[in-house]
């Protein structure tokens, strides 16, 4: 269901591009609503989930990894993951500029993984990785 907040946020995306994310916190909008707005516009949302496909022998890992795109001009843009004050599972383990890649939309991305000691497909399912990624999006852009 589309609300007035989502409609307004979509209009900001249309006029400002990803810079609309800077204003999302003032709209009292949730991470789910941000993702919904991007999806309804047919645009890549500022999150990405990638499934763990490589196995290290008998070592188990969670379902996958979660990433958030940091827009240019944001205080976290171009910072190394170790210098970004967020709280996610295992801490941030990734910060890279991605350009011209068929799996990613261009931009600066930060993320976490579920390949830590004790992680497995039971305690880190796809749904749990999605929820942790949305929490990272909330923290980065100060969303509701």
| Tens-digit pLDDT profile for residues 34-51 | 999 999 999 999 999 999
Side by side, the strands of the sheet bearing 47-51 are 47-51, 64-70, 107-112, 94-98
Mean pLDDT, the chain, integer:
92
The domain limits of the chain are 4-141
The CB-side HSE value for 79 (13 A sphere, CA atoms) comes to 16
Tokens for 94, please give them.
Answer: 């990734």
Q: Which residues of the chain have pLDDT under 50?
A: none
- Token pair 């976290």 is found at 76
Q: What's residue 103's pLDDT?
A: 81
Distance CA 127, CA 136 (A): 14
| Tens-digit pLDDT profile for residues 88-100 | 999 999 999 998 8
Q: What's residue 1's pLDDT?
A: 60
Q: What's residue 3's pLDDT?
A: 77
Q: What's residue 73's pLDDT?
A: 92
Q: Taking phi first (over 0 means left), then psi (-120 to 50 degrees means alpha), and beta for anything else, what does residue 52 get?
A: beta
pTM: 0.93
């Amino acid at each position: 269901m589309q609300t007035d907040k989502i409609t307004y946020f979509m209009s900001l995306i249309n006029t400002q591009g990803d810079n609309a994310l800077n204003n999302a916190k003032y709209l009292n909008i949730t991470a789910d609503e941000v993702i919904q707005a991007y999806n309804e516009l047919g645009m890549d949302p500022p999150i990405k989930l990638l499934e763990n496909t490589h196995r290290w022998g008998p070592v188990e890992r969670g379902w996958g990894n979660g990433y958030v795109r940091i827009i240019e001009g944001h205080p976290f843009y171009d910072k190394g993951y170790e210098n970004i004050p967020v709280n996610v599972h295992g801490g941030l383990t990734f910060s890279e500029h991605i350009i011209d890649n068929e799996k990613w939309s261009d931009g600066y991305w930060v993320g976490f993984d579920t390949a830590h000691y004790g992680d497995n497909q039971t305690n880190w399912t796809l749904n749990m990785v999605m929820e942790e990624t949305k929490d990272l999006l909330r923290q980065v852009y100060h969303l509701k």
